[in-house]
Amino acid sequence: ATVTYDFNITWTKANPDGQFERSVIGINNQWPIPTIRVNIGDQLIVNAYNGLGNVSTALHFHGMFQNGTTNMDGPAGVTQCGIAPGSSFTYNFTVAQPGTYWYHSHVRGQYPDGLRGPFIVNDPNSPFKDQYDEEIVLTLADWYHQLPSTLLKRFISYANPTGAEPVPESALMNDTQGLKIHVEPGKTYMFRVVNMAAFAAQYFWIEGHTMQVIEVDGVYTDPMEASMLYFTAAQRYSFLVTAKNDTKANFAIVAHMDEDLFDAIPAGLNSNVTSWLTYEDNADFPQAKEISVEDLQPFDDFDLVPVDKMELLGEPDQTVSLDMIMDNLSDGANYAFFNGITYVRPKVPTVFTALTSGEMATNPAIYGVNSHAFVLKKDEIVDVVLNNLDPGKHPFHLHGHTFQVIARSQDDEGVYANNVTFPKIPMRRDTVLVRPNGNFVLRFKADNPGIWLFHCHIEWHMASGLSVTMIENPLDLQKSLTIPEDHYKACKEANIPTIGN
């Protein structure tokens, strides 16, 4: 089927934590923005009109492979020009994968303004379809009272010599607090949980209940029991929860921001957000039990086994080695580096450079030093070895793929030492945490021609340049990709030269 959404992207007002009303970016004058829902195999059409008046925008469908449609992926400066105020732009692609995703603005600093929502792909043939009665979608987020554009300016400025990231005021569930989720005794619920945070990772648990994890970032997994989950920004899990038969009580559902990420904890910060699994509307709604940081031991996603049992891919044809640091240069501004390079998005979106440079498209130099391009050959096996030379945690996301996570260190283990035995059936996902002064190795097959960013999903770090560009099989892209007229028009309106039309 074809599923169409007409989105007028506009400023509106909201007060999701009940403490402060601010401008937020909504859709059709509503906020929270709608959940996109399709069935696997559907064609999705999103007609996006930029009604913001003052800023350009673009929508990214996080986790979608966009096979054959890299120009529908969304990052401005990479696969499209930003949509100018007063203009329209159509995203049109086939959804060929099941699971729990989200969509969000991919213009610098913009999704923390509220332009982010769940994207659910229903699968009538899910291996778990007979194991639950109902589905519940839950979003987690961090929330800032000041406009993220203001916060970002201060973050990247002389006024911030230590590079401290903005700390959120509140945590949210379904863009609110104190949500009540009614359950029926004995029924089983499939929760789909997405962390749409700009920054804060969250610990998540349901008091008195265990969770059976069955999906990670769109990949079905053998069920694994968890009493607590850890969601970095952009990660998703689905899990089954069976309601008790014999209770008259209600139970707290808790998300707790990982305060390790914050350089300082402001007075009055409440890192918890509580919702309730509600059996009895007339019973108590208990506060979450006090929990100490030592108790926050989530299960290890590295141990998950995909249902499809896809084995470790063969030896890599190419290894992309990235040493990352966060640093303050002498001008006081904050920059992040991979191998000494701070990503700056090019004026002409990288996809147009790839399409118009003939044989030269396989030469990374033509994409410009600041887009930090790696060219991948058709169907080659690629390893990404990332060494985190920073004492912080970072969630890394690759567009256009899921990857096998084949090695990952604990804290402070330093650079990757090449002496690790890889799992036979590695866990796959699209966003993965690297630990402080630690490392990981990811492996994937370059079977999806396109232009794909690989970046830290902390929006503040993305803005300070913690990104590289994967140019995957550009010669095939030149033969197969067609760019619709409105995509050229977006560039014309922004006075950005593209060749073609």
* Binding region for ligand C2O (CB under 6 A): 60, 62, 75, 104, 106, 234, 397, 399, 453, 455, 457
Which residue minimizes CB distance to ligand C2O? 62
- Residue 111: CB minimum distance to ligand C2O, A: 8
Pick between residue 226 and residue 432 the one whose CB is nearest to ligand C2O.
432
113: closest CA among 76, 144, 89, 153?
144
Pick between residue 137 and residue 307 the one whose CB is nearest to ligand C2O.
137
- Residue 78: CB minimum distance to ligand C2O, A: 9
Q: Which residue in the block uniquely carries the two structure tokens 């979450």?
A: 288
Pick between residue 66 and residue 409 the one whose CB is nearest to ligand C2O.
66
Q: Which residue in the block uniquely carries the two structure tokens 């009580």?
A: 249
- Residue 18: CB minimum distance to ligand C2O, A: 28
Pick between residue 78 and residue 228 the one whose CB is nearest to ligand C2O.
78
- Residue 118: CB minimum distance to ligand C2O, A: 13
Distance of CA 93 to the CA centre of its chain: 19
Asked if 385 and 410 count as a contact pair (C-beta separation under 8 A), the reply is: no
Encoded tokens for 17? 């934590």
- Residue 75: CB minimum distance to ligand C2O, A: 6
Q: Which stretch of DSSP H or E encloses residue 476?
A: helix 474-480
Note the helical H segments in 111-261: 148-155
- Residue 207: CB minimum distance to ligand C2O, A: 30
Q: How many helices (H) and strands (E) does the chain have?
A: 5, 30
Q: Which residue in the block uniquely carries the two structure tokens 């020009």?
A: 81
Q: Which stretch of DSSP H or E encloses residue 487?
A: helix 485-493
- Residue 66: CB minimum distance to ligand C2O, A: 12
Distance CA 248, CA 186 (A): 13
Asked if 229 and 215 count as a contact pair (C-beta separation under 8 A), the reply is: no
268 backbone φψ class: left, alpha, beta (φ>0; ψ -120 to 50): left
Alpha-carbon dihedral of residues 124, 128, 134, 139, nearest 10 degrees?
-90
Pick between residue 75 and residue 349 the one whose CB is nearest to ligand C2O.
75
Pick between residue 275 and residue 350 the one whose CB is nearest to ligand C2O.
350
- Residue 350: CB minimum distance to ligand C2O, A: 13
Pick between residue 102 and residue 204 the one whose CB is nearest to ligand C2O.
102
Cα angle 209, 211, 217 (rounded to 5 degrees) comes to 150
Distance CA 191, CA 213 (A): 9
| DSSP-derived secondary structure letter, 288 | P
Pick between residue 66 and residue 126 the one whose CB is nearest to ligand C2O.
66
